[in-house]
Amino acid sequence: MTAFYQPEDLSAADAIAAIGEDLALFDDWMDRYQFIIELGRKLPPYPAEWQDEAHRVKGCQSQVWLAAADKGEKLYFTGASDAAIVSGLVALVLRVYSGRPRAEILATPAQFLHDLGLIGALSTNRGNGVAAMVERIQALARG
C-alpha cells in the first residue's frame, strides 16, 4: 500500500485546519504556490501502469490520475499529475480524504477549497480540475 497516501491528521476536518494554518504562514500566493508545489513533490510514487484512461480524472486541464484502495472501513487514495502545481493540489486533496471512512469522505464537501481561498487563487481550469478530483473521490466513496 506504499503508493497510497497515509493520513497524518486524525480527521478530514483536522487536515483542512492544518492546511489552512500552513497556507496562512505565507504572505502572498506566489509563496503559497511554491509550498503547494513542494507538497506535490512529496507524494508517494504513482504506479506507471495506473496512468491510463480508467484512472484519469476527467475535467482537469492537466493529466491527473487517481486510484483508490478499499481497506476495510477506510478508503485510501493515490494520485499524480503531469503538472507541478496540480500535483500539489492532488497532495492537498489526498491529505483531506485518504485513509478516511466513506461516511467522513461524503460528509466533507469541496467547500473547503473555497474556504481556504484555493479556488479563488487558481485559474478557472485548475479550480474546475481540483473540484473534479473531489467529485471523483466522493463518487468512489458512494460506491
User: How does pLDDT run across 41-50, given as a tens digit for each residue?
Assistant: 999 999 999 9
Residue range 47-101, pLDDT digits in tens: 999 999 999 998 877 899 999 999 988 999 999 999 999 999 999 999 999 999 9
- Buried residues in 94-103 as b, exposed as e (16+ CB within 10 A): bbbbbbbebe
Tell me the average pLDDT across 12-40. Answer: 95
Q: How many domains does the chain have?
A: 1
Q: Is residue 3 part of a domain?
A: no
Q: Is residue 2 part of a domain?
A: no
Q: Is residue 4 part of a domain?
A: no
pTM of the model: 0.93
Q: Is residue 33 part of a domain?
A: yes
At residue 67, the pLDDT reads 96
Percent of the chain residues past pLDDT 70, beyond the cut: 99
Q: Is residue 94 part of a domain?
A: yes
Instruction: Decide if 60 is catalytic.
Output: yes
Residue 107 is placed in which grid cell?
Answer: 460528509
Q: Is residue 70 part of a domain?
A: yes
Q: Is residue 73 part of a domain?
A: yes
* Structural domain boundaries enclosing 118: 12-142
What residues contact residue 131 under an 8 Å CB cut-off, 6+ apart? 59, 110, 113, 119
State how far the Cα of 12 lies from the Cα of 99, in Å rounded to an integer. 9
Q: Looking at 23, 36, 60, 75, which residue is catalytic?
A: 60
> CATH no. for residue 134?
3.90.1010.10
